[in-house]
Amino acid sequence: MKVLFFGTPEVAVPFLEWLSDNEMVTAVITRPDEPQGRGYEVLPPPVKVMAEKKKIPVLQPQGPWTPETINKLEQFKADVGVAVAYGRILPQSVFGLPKLGTFNVHFSLLPKFRGAAPIQRALINGESLTGVTAFWMDEGMDSGPICLQEAQLISPEDNALTLKEKLISLGIKVLSKVMKDLAEGRVVRKVQKGDVIMAPQLKKEDGNIDWNRPAPSIVNLIRGVYEWPGATTFYQPKLGSPKALKIFSAEAREAAPEKKPGLIVDLKKDGGFVVQANPGLVLIKEVQPEGKKKMSAWSFWQGARLQLGDRLG
C-alpha cells in the first residue's frame, strides 16, 4: 500500500523502518531541523535521517498548513497515512488526504492517557497496565475511532525508557496487523469507550520531588520522568550552596511517618540511603549529582559528606 508517514523523534524511527521494508512509503512528513544540545547545533530529526537513508522524499512544513503544502501531499496519492509522534496537530485537510484516512499509533489504551506524554503519565499515575492503540485521526485530541488495541503489563521495575522499548515492540506488531487488515479490505472503526484521562506534555518542574508525598507516589514520579526532566531534589553540602540531585532509581518501603519528610533516616551499605516520605520510606539507589555523571547512591553517599538527619528538598 502507498503510505504517507508522519513522525519526528527517535521513537517513530522503528515504525518508519518497518513500513519502508514492508510497504511503499511515498513520502515522510516531519518537523523542521532544530538546534539541539549544548552547542545548539542545527540537526535533522531522527525520522528525516532514516527517510534519507531509505531514499524516501521528505517534507518539513512549518507554520500554517498552506494550500501549496497540501497540494504536494495530495500528489503522492497515498492509500493510507500513518502517524507516530509527529508532534504537530494535523487538520482534516491533511489527515483526510489518503484514500482510507490516517491512523495514529499511540502508546496507551485510549481513551486513557490522551496527549503528548502517555508513557510518562501512566507511570506517574502508578498504572499496572497500558498498551498501544491504533486509531483513525479526527479533529479531536486522540479521540478518533479505534482500529486495534493491544495491552502491555507494566512491571514495578519499569521506567519511562524500558516501558517505551516494550511499547515500541508491541506497536510494530499493532502496525503490521492494521496494515494487513487494510490490505485485505478490513477497515475497523470502533468508538472509544471509557473514562478519558489526559496525558499533557511534561514540564521541567514536573520532575521536582515533594517529600510530603507518599513513598509509592515519589517512586512512580522517578520512574515516569526518568528520561526527561529527571526527578530532582536538593542537598546541602558541608561547604557551599545547595546542589541539585537527580534520582533515577528508588524503591518504596512501608513505614509510619516518624520524622519530617525529606530527612535521611538510614543507610543500606552498597545499596543506598533511605529518605522519609509521608508516609513511607524511599530507598535511593541511583543518582546524578549536579555537574557529574550517574552513579550508585552508595557511591554518592561516600563522597558527599552527608549525615543521617540531613534533609533533602
Angle between helices 46-53 and 13-22 (to 10 degrees): 20
The whole-number pLDDT of residue 258 equals 80
Structural domain that includes position 133: 2-198
| CB atoms near residue 197 (< 10 Å) | 17
The whole-number pLDDT of residue 29 equals 98
Residue 23: inside a domain, yes or no? Answer: yes
The whole-number pLDDT of residue 19 equals 98
Residue 313: inside a domain, yes or no? Answer: no
**Same domain, yes or no, for 80 and 165?**
yes
Q: Is the preceding omega at residue 111 within 30 degrees of 0, hence cis?
A: yes
Could you tell me the three cell numbers for 152?
502491555
What is the rounded CA–CA span in Å between residue 21 and residue 289?
43
Residue 184: inside a domain, yes or no? Answer: yes
The whole-number pLDDT of residue 238 equals 79
pLDDT band, very low/low/confident/very high, at 255 (cuts 50, 70, 90): confident
- The predicted model gives 79-102 an average pLDDT of 97
Tell me phi and psi for residue 131, to 5 degrees.
170, -160
The whole-number pLDDT of residue 40 equals 86
pLDDT tens by residue, 14-43: 999 999 999 999 999 999 999 987 788 999
What is the rounded CA–CA span in Å between residue 60 and residue 29?
6
**Same domain, yes or no, for 34 and 158?**
yes
pLDDT tens by residue, 111-145: 999 999 999 999 999 999 999 999 999 999 999 99
The whole-number pLDDT of residue 77 equals 96
Q: Which residue, 142, 169, 198, sits at the end of a domain?
A: 198
The answer, yes or no, to whether residue 257 has pLDDT greater than 90, is no
Q: Which residue, 198, 223, 252, sits at the end of a domain?
A: 198
**Same domain, yes or no, for 193 and 243?**
no
Contact (Cβ atoms closer than 8 angstroms) between residue 266 and residue 202:
no
pLDDT tens by residue, 193-228: 999 999 999 999 999 999 999 999 999 999 999 999
CATH (domain of 184): 3.40.50.170
Nearest-10 Cα torsion for 155, 107, 171, 23: -170
- The predicted model gives 171-186 an average pLDDT of 98
The whole-number pLDDT of residue 217 equals 98
The whole-number pLDDT of residue 36 equals 84
What is the rounded CA–CA span in Å between residue 17 and residue 176?
12
**Same domain, yes or no, for 149 and 102?**
yes
The whole-number pLDDT of residue 256 equals 79
**Same domain, yes or no, for 138 and 6?**
yes
pLDDT band, very low/low/confident/very high, at 237 (cuts 50, 70, 90): confident
CATH (domain of 236): 3.10.25.10
The whole-number pLDDT of residue 110 equals 98
Q: Which residue, 168, 198, 228, sits at the end of a domain?
A: 198
**Same domain, yes or no, for 242 and 139?**
no
**Same domain, yes or no, for 39 and 120?**
yes
The answer, yes or no, to whether residue 59 has pLDDT greater than 80, is yes
**Same domain, yes or no, for 31 and 124?**
yes
Predicted model pTM: 0.96
**Same domain, yes or no, for 184 and 118?**
yes
**Same domain, yes or no, for 153 and 13?**
yes
Number of domains composing the chain: 2
Residue 239: inside a domain, yes or no? Answer: yes
Percent of the chain with pLDDT over 70: 100
Residue 171: inside a domain, yes or no? Answer: yes
Instruction: Give the chain's mean pLDDT.
Output: 96
Residue 233: inside a domain, yes or no? Answer: yes
Place of cell 479531536: 140
Beta bridge pairs of residue 244: 234
The whole-number pLDDT of residue 37 equals 78
Residue 311: inside a domain, yes or no? Answer: no
**Same domain, yes or no, for 9 and 141?**
yes
**Same domain, yes or no, for 182 and 260?**
no
Residue 13: inside a domain, yes or no? Answer: yes
What is the rounded CA–CA span in Å between residue 29 and residue 57?
9
Percent of the chain with pLDDT over 90: 92
The answer, yes or no, to whether residue 305 has pLDDT greater than 90, is no
The answer, yes or no, to whether residue 170 has pLDDT greater than 80, is yes
